[in-house]
Amino acid sequence: MVPTDRKRSIAAIALLALLTSTAAMSQGQLSIAERIAGRDFPSVFQAWSRVENLPRANAIEGIARHDLAWNAISLCGLRWDTTPRGLAEDFEPSSIEAARKVRRKLLELNPNLILIAEIRYRDAHRSFLPENHPWWMRDERGQIVEGWAEGGFLRLDYRNPAFQRHVAQRAKATIDSGIADGILLDWWQEDNDRLALIQEIRAAIGDEPLIIANTNDRTAPRTAPYINGFFMECYRSATAEDWQRIGQTLIWAEQHLRQPRVNCVEVWYHNSRRDLNLMRAVTTLTLTHSNGYCLFSDPNPLPTPDHRHDWYPFWDTNLGKPAGKAMHRADGATSRAFERGTVVYNPMGNGQVEITFDGIRVSRATGRRSRIHTLSACDGDIYLRAGTP
């Protein structure tokens, strides 16, 4: 198979897809582990909402610029076979065939793309189940508990063993459809009932499919043996302590979660999508502290749909593969070598640092060519070797 660089222009992606499709069909689809290992860096993920600043790109091409995306069920057009959909344990056969075509197109554009499906277990829209269904969570007065207020969601009773089995069956049906490589479990906090739930799910889907859990910036030691990656929805990023906690949790996840690992770090903008230093900071933190995926997006409190984002030229860099582990510099910054250059992350609360190389390096943030570069705090940069395309 001819490798596809997801960071090429839209036209180049489409052209290369035509060249690779025949080879992909003849050799078969790459395994989950092969796609994770085969991608280049930096790697960007899509959380529910689309990229918005690519007017020439259709939805499929926009998704394929990322190396990991959810929600695969809606992205590919799967439809549950029962109404209300919360009662369903399988999909309409016709939607499975249509969704497989969408998946094939996505993998033609980016053979290393990982598709994840969210499985609802904690809350859902009130249309998800019949009004008086026992799987709604109720308080001591018998009233259904409110879930995600912004979406008008209600809580689901994931403590119920019958509902846990139902959730596991929905996860299995999603994997068996051939559309998703794994599942996402949102609102993840550790308790005995979530432990029982994730054990039920892992037993149902088997060892190979991925499980990603949204722990925000927390660790999850009890359920870690069942999880391949954290969705780190980092709603706290205003202080140096916040960024330190994000980095420590990411390092922990890279050391303790099951293989293959797919940790996903999202930071929200503070003032606008033009907070480019924050975009570079989350990108370089992810590159230096992990082999994971990054995202810089809109804050959830906005009235618009969550996780919408722009695509940044900084992400169009092709660093190749990591060439070493992170190096914690004496000046407080962290660097890491890659095949085509070096990444430096300078955390919030640190001072400006000076980086000196043996030869000319090109800053992806500024375009400056020099042996010596400076980098402000709460920022990061990629320094490519001179001559790197």
Residue 134 in any domain: the answer is no
| Judgement on whether residues 177 and 166 belong to the same structural domain of the protein | yes
Is there a domain that residue 290 lies in?
yes
pLDDT per position as a tens digit, 279-298:
999 999 999 999 999 999 99
Strand partners, 372: 356
Q: 108 falls in which pLDDT band (50, 70, 90)?
A: very high
pLDDT confidence of residue 28: 59
pLDDT of the residue at 29:
82
User: Greater confidence, 130 or 20?
Assistant: 130
Asked if 84 and 219 sit in the same domain, the reply is yes
User: What is the structure's pLDDT at 157?
Assistant: 98
The last residue of one of the domains, among 273, 293, 316, is 316
- Of 262, 278, 283, 261, the closest CA to residue 343 belongs to 283
pLDDT class of 387 with cuts at 50, 70, 90: confident
Same structural domain for residues 276 and 191?
yes
Asked if 41 and 287 count as a contact pair (C-beta separation under 8 A), the reply is yes
Which run of H or of E encompasses 183?
strand 182-185
In a domain, 285, yes or no: yes
Q: Is the pLDDT of residue 49 over 50?
A: yes
Residue 209 structural domain = 10-122+158-316
Give a yes or no: residue 128 inside a domain: no
Task: Enumerate residues 6+ apart whose C-beta is below 8 A from 210.
Answer: 32, 114, 116, 181, 182, 183, 228, 229, 260, 262
Tell whether 49 and 116 lie within a shared domain: yes
pLDDT at 217: 98
Residue 33 maps to which CATH number?
3.20.20
Q: Chain-wide mean pLDDT for the chain?
A: 93
Residue 150 included in any domain = no
Instruction: Please give the pLDDT value at position 331.
Output: 98
16, pLDDT greater than 60: no
How many other C-beta atoms are found inside a 10 Å radius of the C-beta of residue 2? 10
Q: Would you say residue 85 lies in a domain? A: yes
- Residue 234's SS3 state is strand
Buried b (16+ CB within 10 A) or exposed e, 166-190: bbbbbbbbbbebebbbbbbbbbbeb
Within 8 A by CB and 6+ apart from 12, the residues are none
Name the burial class of residue 104, with classes exposed (0-12), middle (13-18) and buried (19+) by CB atoms within 10 angstroms of its CB. Answer: middle
Range in 6-20, 276-290, 304-318 the model is least confident about: 6-20
Is the same domain home to 63 and 200? yes
Q: Are strands 114-118 and 123-125 parallel, antiparallel or unpaired?
A: unpaired
Residues 308 and 366 reside in one and the same domain: no
Out of 150-154, 224-228, 329-333, pick the least confident. 150-154
- CA–CA distance, 46 with 43 (Å, rounded to integer): 10
- Per the rule left: phi > 0, alpha: psi between -120 and 50, beta: everything else, 245 is alpha
Question: 338 with 350: CB under 8 angstroms?
Answer: no
Residue 186 domain flag: yes
Whether 134 has a pLDDT exceeding 70, the answer reads: yes
pLDDT exceeds cutoff 60 at 11 = no
Tens of pLDDT along 181-214?
Answer: 999 999 999 999 999 999 999 999 999 999 999 9
Residues 77 and 118 in one domain: yes
Same domain, 252 and 271: yes
User: Which residues, listed in sequence order, are joined to residue 264 by a DSSP beta bridge?
Assistant: 231, 293
327: helix, strand or coil: strand
Element (H, E) at 212: strand 210-214
pTM of structure: 0.92
Place of tokens 């529910």: 48
Check whether residue 309 and residue 325 sit in a common domain.
no
Quick one: average pLDDT of 144-159?
92
Q: How confident is the model at residue 259 (pLDDT cuts 50, 70, 90)?
A: very high
Domain stops at, among 284, 301, 316:
316
- Is 386 found in the same domain as 355? yes
Q: Among 296, 316, 336, where does a domain finish?
A: 316
Residue 91's DSSP bridge partners are: 80
Burial of residue 217 (number of CB atoms within 10 Å: 0-12, 13-18, 19+): buried
Same domain, 359 and 216: no
Q: Is the peptide bond before 84 cis (omega within 30 degrees of 0)?
A: yes
Q: Looking at the structure, do residues 54 and 172 belong to the same domain, yes or no? A: yes
pLDDT(84) > 80? yes
Average of per-residue pLDDT across 84-111: 97
pLDDT at 55: 79
Is residue 137 included in any domain, yes or no?
Answer: no
CATH of the domain at 332: 2.60.40
CA distances from 197 to 85, 161, 163, 214, 318 (A): 20, 8, 9, 15, 39
pLDDT above 90 for 132: yes
User: What is the count of structural domains for the chain?
Assistant: 2
Rounded CA-CA distance 270/289 in Å is: 22
**Residue 151's pLDDT is what?**
81
Which of 1-10, 183-192, 212-221, 318-327 is the least confident region? Answer: 1-10
